[in-house]
Amino acid sequence: MLPVSFVSLGLLAFTTVARAVTVSVSATASHPIPTTLWGQMYESGDGGLYGELLQNRAFQQVTPGTSGALNAWQAVNGATISVIKETVPVSPALPNALHVVIPSGRTGQVGFANTGYFGIKVTAGSTYTASFFYRFPTASSFRGNAVISLQTTGGQVLASTTAALSGAQTTWQQVTVTLNPTTTPSSTSNRFVIALDGAAASGQTVNFAMLSLFPPTFKNRPNGMRADIAQALVEMGPSFFRFPGGNNLEGGTVAQRWQWNATVGPLVNRPGRQGDWGYVNTDGLGILEYLQWCEDANMQPIMAVWAGFALGGTSVAEAALGPYIQQAIDQINFVIGDPTKSAPAALRASLGHPAPFALTYVEVGNEDFFAATSYVYRWKDFVNALKAQFPNLHFIATTNINNPVLTPKPTEYDVHVYQTPTWFAQNSFFYDSIARDGTKYFEGEYAAISTNSSDIFGSPATGRLTFPTMQSSTGEAAFMTGLERNSDIVFAAAYAPLLNHVSASQWTPNLVSFDAGAVYRSTSFYVQKLFSLNRGDQYIPSTLPSSTGTLFWSVVRATATQEIIIKVSNTVGTSAPLTFVLPFNTVASSGTVQVIQGSATTSNTPTNPNAAVPVTNSVSTGKTFTYNAPGFSVSVIRLVAH
Ligand SMILES: *[C@@H]1O[C@H](CO)[C@@H](O)[C@H](O)[C@H]1NC(C)=O
Ligand SMILES: *[C@@H]1O[C@H](CO)[C@@H](O)[C@H](O)[C@H]1NC(C)=O
């Protein structure tokens, strides 16, 4: 075997290029790649994945009379607005309403506006659906039009329509209209306005509740997903979607936990809840919307059930677990139950989905290593009850592996890690040393979030990243080659967190960032996409990388196309040659390489969203070939070889 040609030997002699690492590839596969391997972890979607454009649309979980209750709302042209506790609420779930008084002596359009989630994107040619409930708390002789519009902050009307309001309407009436902008403003600083003619409505008082504004959604689902964000997520080719959390499952208190039954049915029936990331969740993106999204995006759900622990530190006593276990059983029946046998399943059928959804994995809690002592009984009682009802489901434990020892023995664990890029590279062998005892692993949250090993969760000043960088993304890719190698026991893996509104960040870095107008795919997003779209179906062993080195690889086969797929992560700034030796009879003389590269600090940001994106080139291949991995790069080489 000649590892390199005489020509390249000559080049090597005159340059500082390192000696090529030789990677000998095995002739036979060691194990199939699980079809679930790459997917997404998700929690809480208001102002992001969920398509609703109005923030604080239903005054859920706010304190009436406070300025905080008016978050994202503002008066227009002298109206007096406040959030009140309604004497006749629009629904038991929504006790509050917007109380609007048109003072006497005003002229022109007087009303109120919503500024959206830090702006509203308005696009000419798109149809926006707006709706609201109104009632006059005191009957009046008023008859007139409400003008419903989209406007720039400067007052330019982008789309407008009217709806007749009647002062005789003292019970709640829903109004639905469409708005068709004919111009696309240059900015997203726009607002949604409802106004009355000041002179005609002088002195009138009107209450409004459950207001909504939707753009066209992904696959045009009513109450669906924001199309550009959904498109970015689908583009990664995820095979699963973990929901509803994450911390956001747990609630600060037991009462604030995520409850499936508070997230179904008409939007007016959803009370919303104080989420775990500092803001109120509308629960407009409820359990049915999550499941529908999984179907639309061709992903399987990895669904969590609340397991008796709230983030504030409360573990429910074992004797008191019964109702929570029943609620978990009901939640699962909503997803997969038989409508003729289960009320939650009958509810699903009544909401338009009589067939059960596909469900294999149920996660019991979240990060219960924070409450490991009580998890011993919580796991036992939840899983014994759930297994009895649903013998075909797999239940995922969320404590550290075998610490504490759980009964029944978990068949799956969810493992989380936030660390430095170097840690990820050096721990790409983590699963190589885990016992093959039948237990499978879900690397349910991982990300390189800091370059400072003394301060993983610190500030940008001490190394915490705002956006993924090529250094963090190559560290993750190194780790992912280890996940692929160990995919006989690692059945699923997801970067976390998934989404970040750049005007309201709570945790950085994230896989995908966005604002009201656009979506920004990070370098780590492209790494996830490269692995996911090139996952193959068989793992092929090869010479192992050095666990203390900086260059990592994995080799898989795509049986259907008779291809070998080689992934390489170079986690440092110096390029590095690798010589691959392939033992197959037929090996193409050329293939393709998709490569993303940059400097250590290259990030895709709102101001430079395409600083590093994958580029596809052809590459010379053969039974022996050398590939030079650029500094801070992830490469995917595909060639026909069999
Ligand atoms: C959801 O169900 C639980 C019982 O499992 C009940 O206590 C709660 O009130 C319900 N919530 C809503 C909003 O229906
Ligand atoms: C790393 O974090 C530690 C602990 O916060 C801090 O003292 C140190 O200055 C940081 N190093 C750098 C290079 O920022």
List the beta bridge partners of residue 552. 569
The DSSP output letter for 218 is G
Helix axes 322-336, 287-296, angle to 10 degrees: 40
Q: What is the mean pLDDT of the chain?
A: 96
**How far, in Å, is the centroid of ligand 1 from the Cα of 626?**
62
Q: What is the 3-state secondary structure (H, E, C) of 279-316?
A: CEECCCCCHHHHHHHHHHCCCEEEEEECCCECCCCCEC
pLDDT of 443 over the 50 cut: yes
Query: For residue range 613-624, what is the model confidence (pLDDT) as tens digits?
Result: 999 999 999 999
Q: Give pLDDT, residue 44.
A: 82
The domains found in the chain, sorted by start residue, are 33-51+218-534 (3.20.20.80), 67-214 (2.60.120.260)
Q: Does 262 contact ligand 1 (Cβ within 6 A)?
A: yes
**How far, in Å, is the centroid of ligand 2 from the Cα of 419?**
14
**How far, in Å, is the centroid of ligand 1 from the Cα of 244?**
17
Distance CA 239, CA 91 (A): 38
Query: For residue range 407-442, what is the model confidence (pLDDT) as tens digits?
Result: 999 999 999 999 999 999 999 999 999 999 999 999
Burial 617-632 (b: 16+ CB within 10 A, else e): eebebbebbbbbbbbb
CA-closest residue to ligand 2 atom 6: 462
- Ligand 2, residue 461: give the atom nearest the CA: 14
- Choose among 335, 547, 346, 333: nearest CA to 429: 547
CB hemisphere CA count around 441 (13 angstroms): 23
Q: Give pLDDT, residue 288.
A: 98
What mean pLDDT do residues 538-560 have? 97
Query: What's the length of the chain?
Result: 642
CA-closest residue to ligand 2 atom 10: 462
**How far, in Å, is the centroid of ligand 1 from the Cα of 262?**
7
- Lowest-confidence segment of 18-27, 177-186, 213-222, 256-265 by average pLDDT: 18-27
Q: What is the 3-state secondary structure (H, E, C) of 523-551?
A: HHHHHHHHHHHCCCCEECCECCCCCCCCE
Question: By three-state DSSP, how is residue 386 classified?
Answer: helix
- Choose among 569, 566, 613: nearest CA to 591: 566
Share of the chain above pLDDT 70, in %: 97
Q: Does 259 contact ligand 1 (Cβ within 6 A)?
A: yes
Tell me whether residue 466 is exposed, middle or buried, using C-beta atoms within 10 angstroms of its C-beta: 0 to 12, 13 to 18, 19 or more: middle
* Confidence tier at 11 by pLDDT (50, 70, 90): very low
Strands, E assignment, 584-623? 590-597, 615-620
Tell me whether residue 435 is exposed, middle or buried, using C-beta atoms within 10 angstroms of its C-beta: 0 to 12, 13 to 18, 19 or more: exposed
If one compares 25 and 17, the residue with the highest pLDDT of the two is: 25
CB hemisphere CA count around 128 (13 angstroms): 27
**How far, in Å, is the centroid of ligand 2 from the Cα of 466?**
16
Considering every ligand atom, which ligand is closest to the CA of 91? 1
Share of the chain above pLDDT 90, in %: 96
Pocket test for ligand 1, best of 94, 258, 259 (most atoms within 8 A of CB): 259
- Choose among 146, 98, 117: nearest CA to 54: 117
- Check whether the bond before 408 is cis (ω within 30° of 0): yes
The DSSP output letter for 2 is -
Q: Give pLDDT, residue 327.
A: 98
- Choose among 513, 530, 430, 427: nearest CA to 465: 513
Q: Give pLDDT, residue 324.
A: 98
CA-closest residue to ligand 1 atom 11: 262
- Check whether the bond before 344 is cis (ω within 30° of 0): no
pLDDT of 7 over the 50 cut: no
CB 260 within 8 A of CB 306: no
Q: Give pLDDT, residue 19.
A: 86
List the beta bridge partners of residue 538. 32, 557
- Ligand 1, residue 262: give the atom nearest the CA: 13
What mean pLDDT do residues 335-354 have? 98
> From residue 284, how far is each of 95, 325, 624 by CA, in Å?
17, 24, 56
Query: For residue range 68-82, what is the model confidence (pLDDT) as tens digits?
Result: 999 999 999 999 999
* Confidence tier at 515 by pLDDT (50, 70, 90): very high
Query: For residue range 301-324, what is the model confidence (pLDDT) as tens digits?
Result: 999 999 999 999 999 999 999 999
- Choose among 253, 110, 255, 264: nearest CA to 195: 110
* Confidence tier at 400 by pLDDT (50, 70, 90): very high
Q: CA torsion, points 128, 109, 175, 260, in degrees to nearest 10?
A: 70
Strands, E assignment, 180-221? 190-197, 205-214
What mean pLDDT do residues 349-370 have? 98
What mean pLDDT do residues 284-292 have? 98
Neighbours of 64 (CB within 10 A): 15
Pocket test for ligand 1, best of 94, 257, 260, 261 (most atoms within 8 A of CB): 261
Query: For residue range 491-510, what is the model confidence (pLDDT) as tens digits?
Result: 999 999 999 999 999 899 99
What mean pLDDT do residues 392-413 have? 98
The DSSP output letter for 639 is E
Q: Give pLDDT, residue 12.
A: 40
Cα angle 299, 305, 307; round to 5 = 150
Q: Give pLDDT, residue 17.
A: 53
- Ligand 1, residue 260: give the atom nearest the CA: 1
- Ligand 1, residue 326: give the atom nearest the CA: 5
If one compares 36 and 6, the residue with the highest pLDDT of the two is: 36
- Choose among 485, 506, 509, 487: nearest CA to 496: 509
Query: For residue range 89-129, what is the model confidence (pLDDT) as tens digits?
Result: 999 999 999 999 999 999 999 999 999 999 999 999 999 99
**How far, in Å, is the centroid of ligand 2 from the Cα of 457?**
11
CB 80 within 8 A of CB 104: no
Q: Give pLDDT, residue 1.
A: 33
* Confidence tier at 8 by pLDDT (50, 70, 90): very low
CB 74 within 8 A of CB 116: no
Query: In the numeric block, which tokens belong to residue 136?
Result: 């006059």
Considering every ligand atom, which ligand is closest to the CA of 458? 2
- Ligand 2, residue 455: give the atom nearest the CA: 2
Strand 190-197 to 109-114 pairing: antiparallel
Considering every ligand atom, which ligand is closest to the CA of 265? 1
